[in-house]
Amino acid sequence: MNAPDQTLLTVEHLTMRFGGLVAIDDLSFAARDGRITSIIGPNGAGKTTVFNCLTGFYAPTVGRLALRRGDEVLLLERLEDFRIARTAGVARTFQNIRVFPKMSVLENLMVAQHNRLMRASGYSFLGLVGIGGYRAAEAEARDLASYWLERTGLIEHADEEAGSLSYGGQRRMEIARCMCTQPTLLCLDEPAAGLNPRESAELNELLLFIRDEHRIGQLLIEHDMSVVMEISDHVVVLDYGRKIAEGKAAQVRNDPAVIRAYLGEEEDA
C-alpha cells in the first residue's frame, strides 16, 4: 500500500472534447492517498465526465492521468476500462445506481471479487472438477463480503435480490461492492443523491470510516453540500469544464469565483 498522504492521483491538462463541445478544459489537480477529494460544481460542469475519463469509459482528448499504486505509476488514459479497475484498482459507483438487480446482494459482492476468484478456480477448469483452493478462496471472499455488508448495514438483506433493496440500500451496496474489489482509489459519483438527511449522515460516517480505518483515497462528486463540507479534505470546483477554485472546504466556500458560479453574476458593466 501507499504511504499515507502521498499523492495518489495526478490529473494533468485533462481535456475532453465531444465534437465542438469542450466538456473539460485543461483541468489539473491532484488527490492524496487516504484523503477525501471532492469535485463540485454546478450542473453540467463536467464532473461526471472527469470520472468517465478516469475510469476509462471515455478516452480523454488530451491529458495525463497518473495513478500511484505501491511503487508503480500507472497511466490510466492508456488502459482499457476493465483494466483500470483490475490493474490500477480504481473502483467507482454510478450516479444512477448500477446494481445487478436479479442477483442477491451477496452475489453482487462476490462478482466484485471476480478476478481473484477466477485465479483461485484455475480459470474455471480446476473449479469445475473441484481441485485446488477454490473453496477456501470462496469462503474468504464471502467473509470479506460479509464484513462490508456489516459495515453498510445490509447484512440482514444479504440473501435478498439487490433490486429489492431500498434506494439508499442500493447506494450503500454499490459502495460495499466497490470496497470488495479492494481498490486503491474509490470514485463516488453523487453517493448522497436521493438520500434523506439521516441516510446521508450515515453515508458520511461510512466514507470517513473507509478513509480512517482503511486509508483508501476517495474522489467524491457531490451536490449535497452538507456531505461535501463535512468530510472533504480537499475541494476542487469546476465550472464549464474549468477549475475555478481549489482548497480546503471552508476556503472554497468563501471564494468569490465559486459563489459567482453557483449563484450567477449581476450584469452591471
Partner 1 sequence: MTDTLATGVNPLPAAFRDAALTAVVAALLGLPLVGFHVVSRSSGMVLEGRVWELATAVALIFCGRLGIVLVNSGSAWPVLACGGVAVLIGVFAPMPGVFLSVVCVAGGGLLAARAGLVMLRGKSGMRKIQARIQSSGTALRGMGAYLGPALIAFAVALPFLPFADRQVIDIGILVMTYVMLGWGLNIVVGLAGLLDLGYVAFYAVGAYSYALLAQYFDFNFWICLPLAGAFAAGFGILLGFPVLRLRGDYLAIVTLGFGEMVRVILLNWTRLTNGPDGISGVPRPSFFGLPFKRRPPEGVESFHQFFGLDYASIHRVIFLYYLILVLALITNAFTLRIRKLPIGRAWEALREDEIACRSLGINPTNTKLSAFAIGAMFGGFAGSFFATRQGFISPESFTFIESAIILAVVVLGGMGSQVGVVIAAIVLIGLPEWFRELQEFRMLAFGAGMVLIMIWRPRGLLSHREPTILLGRAP
Residue with smaller CB distance to partner 1, 183 or 241: 183
Residue with smaller CB distance to partner 1, 156 or 268: 156
15: which strand partners? 62
Question: Helix or strand or coil: residue 71?
Answer: coil
C-alpha cell at 252: 472554497
Residue with smaller CB distance to partner 1, 57 or 167: 57
Q: How many whole angstroms separate alpha carbon 46 and alpha carbon 178?
A: 23
C-alpha cell at 263: 449563484
DSSP state of 44: T
Residue with smaller CB distance to partner 1, 111 or 225: 111
User: In the bound complex, what is the minimum distance in angstroms from residue 15's beta carbon to partner 1?
Assistant: 23
| Residues 140-169, interacting with partner 1 (CB under 8 A) | 142, 145-146, 149, 155-160
* Cβ contacts of 132 within 8 Å, gap of 6 or more: 120, 121, 122, 126
Alpha helical stretches, state H, 113-166: 114-120, 125-129, 134-151
Q: What are phi and psi of 78, to 5 degrees?
A: -100, -5
User: In the bound complex, what is the minimum distance in angstroms from residue 110's beta carbon to partner 1?
Assistant: 6
* Cβ contacts of 112 within 8 Å, gap of 6 or more: 177, 178, 180, 181
- Contacting residue, 66, 103, 229, 249, with partner 1 by CB under 8 A: 103
- Contacting residue, 6, 115, 166, 254, with partner 1 by CB under 8 A: 115
Q: How many whole angstroms separate alpha carbon 159 and alpha carbon 32?
A: 36
Q: Total number of residues binding partner 1 (CB under 8 A)? A: 48
The answer to whether 221 contacts partner 1 (rule: CB under 8 A) is no
Residue with smaller CB distance to partner 1, 11 or 145: 145
Q: Give me the residue label for grid cell 476542487.
A: 236
| Residues 66-95, interacting with partner 1 (CB under 8 A) | 81-83, 85-86, 91-92, 94
Residues in touch with partner 1 (CB under 8 A):
55-57, 81-83, 85-86, 91-92, 94, 98-104, 106-108, 110-115, 117-118, 121, 123-124, 127-128, 134, 138, 142, 145-146, 149, 155-160, 177, 181
